[in-house]
Structure 1
Amino acid sequence: MKPREQLGGIYAASITAYDAGGRVDAAALQAVMERNLREGAAGFFVGGSSGECFLLTEAERIQVFEAAAAVRGRANLIAHVGAIGTGEAVRYAKAAMALGYDFCAATAPFYYGFSPKEVCSYYYAIAEASGAPVLIYNFPGNTHKEFDVANPDYIALFRSGAILGVKQTNYNLFQMERILNLNPDLIAFDGYDETMVAGQALGCIGSIGSTFNMMLPHYKKIFTLFDAGKRQEALALQHKANNCMEAMCRVGLIPAIKYELARQGYPVGDARAPFAPLNDEQKAYVDAVRARALAPEKRGAFFLPSLQGRKRRNGRQRPPDLAPGGLF
């Protein structure tokens, strides 16, 4: 297990690339990862929500682990092994660790109303199978499973040594701070691109983000500036990133990321159905917002253009609503 000081930094929550026939395209995924390495990525979170994990077969999920393992030794690698069933998660964990991943992460088992004791047994089994502590992928907006930090089973889990820490994909950063308070050896990664500076302020050693696939240098600047104590500069860049994020969430986050990657010369296929690709109006909207948000600084308010038929944010909770055409 790598020491804590080697685990911090910016991690791309990798997409899954597909070829024209809808099959996993290892070469296209590796091309994006190589680009992110050149841009300064510390590591990759492989097979998570941005990778459409629950739309893949078991064989495809392992195929994605194999493809991403090409950067082993040049970046930290986290395998997301979450599943509804413990047996399936354990199989992913064993496969990933055999490929040389640094550690595994897992969403809580969802759909059924598993008790805290059952959820904890799932994490203990993954830790035993992987031979390393597990990063909890805390994503209650999608799993509908909250970690009650007052529950004795969860307290024991966080203090057990079976848990490395938490990827906090949850706007409730107070909960993250309370989890870290239970055990000083735990680490945390911010899991929402748009809350990076807030996560850093409350103790995150790194950030794992979906839009890092296609705008990693911008987020690396935010992270580095905040670490250097230049908080106002970091916050100004966070606002710019959030303008882009809000626009992409309005049209569908994962399809928008894949569209932007293709536009930048990295074709990775469309998101798998039932995700729908962006139409021409949505593409033009996202392009206009990104161009304006990332343009050289100008005084004055940023107004988000309107878009008819705004959609729910794909793959995660949607941020608080804003009126179309209103002040962003």
Structure 2
Amino acid sequence: MQGIYTAIVTAFKEDGSVDEAGTRAVIRHSTDHCRADGIFVGGTMGERFKMTTKEVKDLLRIAADEASGKADLAANITALADEEILELAEEAHRLGYTAAALVPPVFHGYSQEEIVNHYLYIADHIPLPLLVYVIPSFSKVDFTEEMLVRLLEHPNIIGLKYTHNDYYLLDRVRVRCPEASIFTGFDDVLLHALLMGTDGAIGGTFNLTGAFAKKLYEAVKAGDYALALRYQRKINDVEDMLNETGLFPTIKAALACMEVPCGQLKRPSGPVTEAQIEQGKRICEYLKRNGG
């Protein structure tokens, strides 16, 4: 696995069910316009943690069909119960996904040993390769270097989705595990992460800035770091605008402005506001002016 993966938003209908037509439009925008190397389905940006297992399985099916022959596919298989994790992994494998990602178990406050054993158990029992989803801001789990290295020694744990700002830890793991597939989950430091040896990125803002990210990635591969920096700054300009009015709803507002209908956020999140709609229009104009 390598390259730029869009962590797609999920389109929802007014009743909160998955909007298949809208979700297909989101995927087409990433594959056809942004030239994404891969699609990450059911992630944080996709609001997976508001969805039932059945809804996630429907989403996996829609994405597999729409992205077929265009992009690689990876699935977030996180759930509270092991049985549901295994069920999602089996479905992703049946549909042709390349890999799965898994957030550490949360809520009950597990020990480091329990967390490691959880990943090892899942890796032993699923039919596709696993990425450890490192996201301490949401999971409240702080992986140590030794935990990550131990996990990456398992033959079915192939890498990390690293949504964390500790790049010293990332460097130490990369040095000790040179064969691991490591993806940054922070779009605003994509250039920095690539220079530190990551294999690409799995990012939510790539729903909008994916074309910039792909050009940045290609510039790094070509050794044109000045060009890569220019694209990083374009990505960060958009991130600034998103953060002013709220990341998740403003991404949806901007996509709607680009004629990519993806509806509202799923409850309990509130509706997209007028301020977010107007900001979405400004982001659209920025992307048009800058070739995004």
> Which TM-score applies when normalising by structure 2?
0.92
- Does 2:12 match 1:18? yes
Contact map agreement 1:158 1:179 (CA 8 A) in 2: no
1:115 aligned residue:
111
Aligned residue among 45, 49, 57 for 1:62: 57
Aligned residue among 267, 270, 277 for 1:276: 270
Q: Per-residue CA shift, 1:239-264, capped at 9, x if unaligned?
A: 12112112212322111111111111
Quote how far apart the aligned CAs of 1:198 are.
0.8
Query: How far apart are the structure 2 equivalents of 1:157 and 1:289?
Result: 40
Contact map agreement 2:255 2:280 (CA 8 A) in 1: no
- Does the C-alpha gap of structure 1 residues 290 and 260 become closer, same or farther in structure 2, counting only changes over 3 Å? closer
- Does the C-alpha gap of structure 1 residues 275 and 249 become closer, same or farther in structure 2, counting only changes over 3 Å? farther
Aligned-residue CA RMSD (Å): 2.0
Query: How far apart are the structure 2 equivalents of 1:130 and 1:156?
Result: 18
Q: How does 1:238-277 map to 2 (within 5 A)?
A: 238-277=232-271
Quote how far apart the aligned CAs of 1:289 are.
5.7
Q: Give structure 1 regions of 4+ aligned residues with deviation exceeding 6 angstroms.
A: none
Aligned residue among 165, 170, 173 for 1:171: 165
- Does the C-alpha gap of structure 1 residues 48 and 122 become closer, same or farther in structure 2, counting only changes over 3 Å? same
Aligned residue among 133, 139, 145 for 1:143: 139
- Does 2:149 match 1:155? yes
Unaligned runs of 5+ in 2: none
Query: How far apart are the structure 2 equivalents of 1:72 and 1:15?
Result: 18
Contact map agreement 1:255 1:271 (CA 8 A) in 2: yes
Query: How far apart are the structure 1 equivalents of 2:288 and 2:199?
Result: 26
Aligned residue among 191, 194, 198 for 1:200: 194
1:38 maps to a residue whose letter is: D
1:207 maps to a residue whose letter is: A
2:2 maps to a residue whose letter is: G
2:39 maps to a residue whose letter is: F
Query: How far apart are the structure 1 equivalents of 2:154 and 2:43?
Result: 25
2:38 aligned residue:
43
SS in 2 for 1:281: helix
Quote how far apart the aligned CAs of 1:98 are.
1.5
Query: How far apart are the structure 2 equivalents of 1:292 and 1:44?
Result: 24
The range that moved more, 123-132 or 142-151, is: 123-132
Contact map agreement 1:104 1:130 (CA 8 A) in 2: no
Query: How far apart are the structure 1 equivalents of 2:277 and 2:20?
Result: 26
Quote how far apart the aligned CAs of 1:278 are.
3.2
Query: How far apart are the structure 2 equivalents of 1:239 and 1:294?
Result: 16
Query: How far apart are the structure 2 equivalents of 1:276 and 1:254?
Result: 11
The range that moved more, 13-22 or 282-291, is: 282-291
SS in 2 for 1:45: strand
> Which TM-score applies when normalising by structure 1?
0.82
- Does 2:125 match 1:129? yes
Contact map agreement 1:36 1:216 (CA 8 A) in 2: yes
1:145 maps to a residue whose letter is: V
The range that moved more, 200-209 or 65-74, is: 65-74
Q: Per-residue CA shift, 1:156-183, capped at 9, x if unaligned?
A: 2221223111111111122222222232
Instruction: Please say which structure displays the higher CA radius of gyration.
Output: 1
Contact map agreement 2:185 2:201 (CA 8 A) in 1: yes
How many residues align? The count is 289
Contact map agreement 2:254 2:279 (CA 8 A) in 1: no
Contact map agreement 2:249 2:264 (CA 8 A) in 1: yes
The range that moved more, 23-32 or 287-296, is: 287-296
- Does 2:205 match 1:215? no
Query: How far apart are the structure 2 equivalents of 1:73 and 1:240?
Result: 29
SS in 2 for 1:49: coil
Compare relative contact order (CA 8 Å, sep 6+) and give the higher one, 1 or 2.
Answer: 2
SS in 2 for 1:50: coil
Query: How far apart are the structure 1 equivalents of 2:146 and 2:29?
Result: 43
- Does 2:181 match 1:187? yes
Query: How far apart are the structure 2 equivalents of 1:296 and 1:89?
Result: 41
